[in-house]
C-alpha cells in the first residue's frame, strides 16, 4: 500500500489540503460521465452487458465476484464472454484474446486468472466498447461481463454491480486525490446491485439494503507439484511457519483468512499487481525452507519459477442466491 493509500484509510487530516483538487476532479468526472453516457446511448450491442466494478481505488473483490457470476451463468446455460481493461498488461496490441496467450505478463494478472477460472472467452482492451465488438466477432456469447469499467461510461450497460470493501469501506469518504473514491458514495444508489465484501462493524447509510458476499477458503494447491490439500486440515508439518506473500489491493483481507491456520504467520505485502519474479523470493527475508502461501491472482504469475514450498489459496465466493436468480431472470428478459 502506497503512502497516499495509507493516509486515505487512516484518515490523515492533512489530506483536507487537497480538497480543492478533489472538487475539480469531481466536476471533470461529472462532465465526462455526461458526455460519455450520451455517446453510449447511441451505441448498439446485441447482447446484455453487465459491469462489475467499484467506486474506490484499490482492491474490493470485484474480480472474484465476476468469476462467481460467470460460473453461475454458465450453469444456467448462458455463454458469457468477459472484457477487461488489462491493467498492467505487457501487450501493446489491442484488442487481445487472453485465452490464446498463456503468459500473465502479457495479458495482466486479473484477465489471466479470469480466463483460467471461468473457461470463458476473455478480451482485453482499454477501449471496452472495442473489446465488446471484438469479443462478439471471436466467440459465440450471449451475455458480456465487464471486469471493472463502472466509470467507463462510453460502454453501454444493462446492469451495474458495485463491490465495496467491507473492511476499509470508503476510507475518509473523499474523492481523489484527497481520498480513495472515484465517485461519491451516493453513486451506489444508482447501481442495480451493491455487494459488500466482508461484514463492517458499522454499516454506513449508503450500504443499507446491500447484499453481502462470503469468501470460503477451500484448498491449498502446490504451484510446483499440483498437490491439493484441504485448508481446514492443518496441511503443513508441525513447527512450520506460514509466509503469506501477496500483491493485491487489500492484503490484510488475505492475511486474515490465513489466521485460521494453526501456524505462526509472517506477512509479506507487495504493491497491487506486483509483477513477481524469482528474485522476490530469493533476495529478501522470505525463508525457502518454510511454506509460502499466496492468492491465485499472485500464483498465476509465479508458476514458471515456483518451488515445492509455493502454495496458492483456492477459495469459493458465495453470492446471495436470490440476487443471482434475479440477474438470471433479467438477462433472459433482455
Residue 108, CA atoms < 13 Å, CB-side half-sphere = 24
Confirm or reject CATH 2.40.128 for domain 3-213+319-333, answering yes or no. Answer: no
Give the integer Cα–Cα distance in Å for 137 and 47: 12
Give the integer Cα–Cα distance in Å for 231 and 77: 31
Give the integer Cα–Cα distance in Å for 285 and 176: 34
Length in residues, the chain = 334
Identify which of 101, 26, 118, 22 has the alpha carbon closest to the alpha carbon of residue 66: 118
Give the integer Cα–Cα distance in Å for 31 and 253: 35
- Cα–Cα distances in angstroms (integers) from residue 99 to residues 83, 139, 157, 224, 333, in the given order: 12, 11, 24, 22, 30
pLDDT digits over 134-180, tens only? 999 999 999 999 999 899 999 999 999 999 999 899 999 999 999 99
What is the predicted pLDDT for the residue at 270? 94
What is the predicted pLDDT for the residue at 306? 96
Domain boundaries defined on the chain? 3-213+319-333, 216-315
Ranges of the chain whose pLDDT falls below 50: none
Give me 314's grid cell: 483456492
Identify which of 147, 114, 109, 163 has the alpha carbon closest to the alpha carbon of residue 297: 109
What is the predicted pLDDT for the residue at 222? 96
What is the predicted pLDDT for the residue at 1? 65
What is the predicted pLDDT for the residue at 249? 87
What is the predicted pLDDT for the residue at 263? 95
Strands 96-97 and 122-124: antiparallel
Q: Peptide bond before 177: cis, by omega within 30 degrees of 0?
A: yes
Q: What is the pTM of this model?
A: 0.92
Amino acid at each position: 500500500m502506497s503512502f497516499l493509500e495509507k493516509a486515505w484509510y487512516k484518515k490523515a487530516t492533512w489530506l483536507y489540503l487537497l480538497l480543492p483538487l478533489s472538487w475539480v476532479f469531481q466536476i471533470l468526472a461529472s462532465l465526462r460521465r455526461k458526455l460519455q453516457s450520451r455517446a453510449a446511448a447511441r451505441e448498439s450491442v446485441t447482447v446484455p452487458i453487465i459491469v462489475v466494478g467499484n467506486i474506490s481505488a484499490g482492491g474490493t473483490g470485484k474480480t472474484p465476484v465476476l468469476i462467481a457470476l460467470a460460473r453461475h451463468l454458465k450453469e444456467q446455460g448462458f455463454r458469457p464472454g468477459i472484457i477487461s481493461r488489462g491493467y498492467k498488461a505487457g501487450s501493446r496490441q489491442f484488442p487481445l484474446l487472453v485465452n490464446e496467450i498463456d503468459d500473465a505478463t502479457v495479458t495482466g494478472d486479473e484477465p489471466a486468472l479470469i480466463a483460467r477460472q471461468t473457461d470463458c472467452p476473455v478480451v482485453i482492451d482499454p477501449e471496452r466498447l472495442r473489446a465488446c465488438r471484438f469479443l462478439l466477432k471471436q466467440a459465440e456469447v450471449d451475455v458480456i461481463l465487464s471486469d471493472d469499467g463502472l466509470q467507463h461510461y462510453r460502454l453501454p450497460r444493462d446492469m451495474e454491480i458495485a463491490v465495496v470493501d467491507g473492511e476499509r469501506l470508503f476510507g475518509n469518504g473523499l474523492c481523489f486525490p484527497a481520498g480513495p473514491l472515484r465517485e461519491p458514495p451516493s453513486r451506489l444508489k444508482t447501481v442495480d446491485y451493491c455487494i459488500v465484501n466482508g461484514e463492517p462493524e458499522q454499516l454506513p447509510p449508503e450500504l443499507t439494503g446491500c447484499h453481502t458476499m462470503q469468501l470460503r477458503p477451500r484448498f491449498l494447491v502446490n504451484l510446483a507439484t499440483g498437490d491439493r490439500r484441504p485448508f481446514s486440515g492443518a496441511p503443513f508439518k508441525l513447527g512450520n511457519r506460514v509466509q503469506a506473500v501477496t500483491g493485491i489491493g487489500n492484503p490484510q483481507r488475505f492475511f486474515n483468512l490465513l489466521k485460521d491456520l494453526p501456524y505462526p504467520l509472517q506477512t509479506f505485502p507487495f504493491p497491487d499487481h506486483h509483477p513477481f519474479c524469482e528474485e522476490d523470493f530469493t533476495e529478501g527475508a522470505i525463508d525457502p525452507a518454510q511454506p509460502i502461501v499466496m492468492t491465485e491472482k499472485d500464483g498465476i504469475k509465479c508458476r514458471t519459477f515456483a518451488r515445492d514450498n509455493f502454495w496458492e489459496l483456492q477459495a469459493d465466493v458465495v453470492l446471495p442466491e436470490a440476487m443471482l436468480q434475479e440477474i438470471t431472470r433479467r438477462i433472459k428478459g433482455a
